[in-house]
Amino acid sequence: MKVLNKEIGDELDSMYGLVAGRVAASGRELLIEAYEGAGLSDVEWTDDAVIISLHHGVPTHAIPHVLAIALQHVRQTLDGYPHIAEPDEPQPEGSELVRSSLRELVLESDAEAQLVSLGLDRTWENEQRHQAMKGILKAPPADWNEVDSLGNLFIALQYARMSLNHPPEMWKALQKRTEEVLPAAAERGEQALAAVKKRRWGNARNVLDSYVQLRDELGIEDLVKIEDAYGVEH
């Protein structure tokens, strides 16, 4: 399979064909493009296409896993997964980081669960994520350890996400560092981790329940609006 003029092997042939077929059945074309935006990938839905954008800096050997996660996000939408939206009330600057971290915590975990049997190479991504979190924890703002700050919520959700998806041998050092410099955020991260484990993921209903559980346990009703595939608020 060729992606952005790079040969990436055949591990994703079946998954890509299945997702592309479902996208076609919705009257759209599945496209893959390069971009220079934030993050490693992005998915955009238009009236006639679903566009997966892959960061041009992703090395060839890492493309299969990055693309597989993006394909799973397309599948999640096709399966009617709920989504996190911005509340109607004015939002404080930085609140989108909290909403995106909440999405990633649940949806990435759901996506990764679908990829276990493929054994895709995550080494490069793990290193990028590790260094990014290490950099954040080097000298975090003091208010990030205050429970009512957005920085505290951001770190707590990243803590829970990495507890679930980062290699244990790599996470151990980051966990210790978080506990040392942002103990209140680490404690809240454990709370978020326990909340998501109560409902987990695997289908639209479980994901909805996880979103609601996390929102209620963390007390972030003013920052997060949860809507199911029919636009109904929960």
CA distance 40 to 156: 22
Residue 12 pLDDT: 97
Residue 136 pLDDT: 95
Residue 38 pLDDT: 83
Residue 148 pLDDT: 85
Residue 107 pLDDT: 97
Q: Any alpha helices (H) in the chain, and if so which ranges?
A: 13-25, 63-78, 95-115, 123-138, 150-165, 168-181, 183-199, 204-218
Q: Which two tokens stand for residue 102?
A: 């909440």
Cβ contacts of residue 25 below 8 Å, gap of 6+? none
Residue 64, exposed/middle/buried by CB under 10 A (0-12, 13-18, 19+)? buried
Residue 217 pLDDT: 95
In the DSSP assignment, the letter for residue 57 is T
Query: pLDDT in tens for each of the 234 residues of the chain?
Result: 999 999 999 999 999 999 999 999 999 999 999 999 888 999 999 999 999 999 999 999 999 999 999 999 999 999 999 999 999 999 999 999 999 999 999 999 999 999 999 999 999 999 999 999 999 999 999 999 999 899 999 999 999 999 999 999 999 999 999 999 999 999 999 999 999 999 999 999 999 999 999 999 999 999 999 999 999 999
CA distance 208 to 30: 26
Beta carbons of 214 and 70 less than 8 angstroms apart:
no
Residue 100 pLDDT: 96
